[in-house]
């Protein structure tokens, strides 16, 4: 990102509190909803420690309005907003540009994006890494990029893979949410108890 001052704004959406940061070139950071404004600010300042609160530019204000519409379930296009992701790996820049072309209600996979860029299947891992490091989730719609076979895959934003599933559901794409670890262990414990009861009944 450019060596210019960063400003940020915290705002509330139907999904929670988001924060957006920008400089005089474009949007530099966007964070998906958290439960509190304090948590949103804390996360942003860990990544941009010198950033200061500021009044949004007209384009940033337009982006904020678009984010609010998105979390109200309205079809929204973020592909026209100017970004400043300076210092990115050139291949990552290509990946992000390709991901921005995946519109509302559509998905792709890590492997498909790699193929579109003329890379082999081994580059799917690079696509996954780029999505994990995406500094402007939603504006670069990494939630629309899935693992092989249409599986949810990872999601480094607040809420993890469950947040990815909810965002896709807003767009009319319904995937099976990943089973929480707690649910897995609860089911496992029930199965163990059932087998013990069966074994004890046969004695």
Domain that holds residue 41: 7-71
Q: Which of 10, 138, 142, 163 is catalytic?
A: 142
Does the residue 80 lie in any domain? no
Asked whether the predicted pLDDT for residue 26 surpasses 50, the reply is yes
Has residue 21 got a pLDDT over 80? Answer: yes
pLDDT, tens digit (0-9, with 9 covering 90-100), for 131-148: 999 999 999 999 999 988
Residue 17 lies inside a defined structural domain of this protein: yes
pTM of the model: 0.82
Average pLDDT over residues 65-92: 93
Same domain, 147 and 183: yes
Q: How many CB atoms are located within 10 Å of the residue 170 CB? A: 19
- CB of 136 closer than 8 Å to CB of 27: yes
Q: In the predicted model, is pLDDT for residue 106 greater than 90?
A: yes
61 and 109: one domain?
A: no
18 is an active site residue: no
Q: Which residue has the tokens 């982006």?
A: 63
Termini Cα distance of the chain: 70
Residue range 41-58, pLDDT digits in tens: 999 999 999 999 999 999
């Amino acid at each position: 990102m450019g060596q210019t001052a960063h400003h940020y704004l915290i705002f509330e959406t139907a999904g929670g509190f988001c924060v957006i940061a920008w400089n005089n070139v474009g949007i530099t950071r966007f964070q998906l909803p958290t439960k509190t404004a304090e948590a949103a600010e804390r996360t942003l300042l860990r990544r941009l420690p010198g950033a200061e609160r500021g009044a949004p530019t007209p384009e940033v204000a337009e982006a904020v309005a678009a984010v609010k519409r998105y979390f109200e379930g309205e079809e929204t296009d973020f592909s026209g907003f100017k970004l400043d992701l300076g210092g990115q790996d050139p291949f990552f820049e290509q990946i992000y540009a390709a991901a921005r072309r995946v519109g509302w209600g559509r998905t792709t996979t890590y492997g498909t994006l790699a193929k579109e860029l003329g890379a082999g299947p081994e580059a799917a891992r690079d696509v996954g890494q780029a999505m994990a490091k995406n500094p402007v989730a939603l504006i670069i719609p990494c939630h629309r990029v899935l693992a092989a076979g249409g599986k949810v895959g990872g999601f480094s934003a607040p809420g993890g893979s469950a947040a990815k599933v909810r965002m896709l559901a807003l767009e009319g794409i319904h995937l099976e949410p990943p089973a929480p670890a707690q649910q897995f262990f609860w089911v496992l414990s029930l199965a163990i108890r059932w087998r013990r009861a069966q074994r004890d009944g046969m004695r």
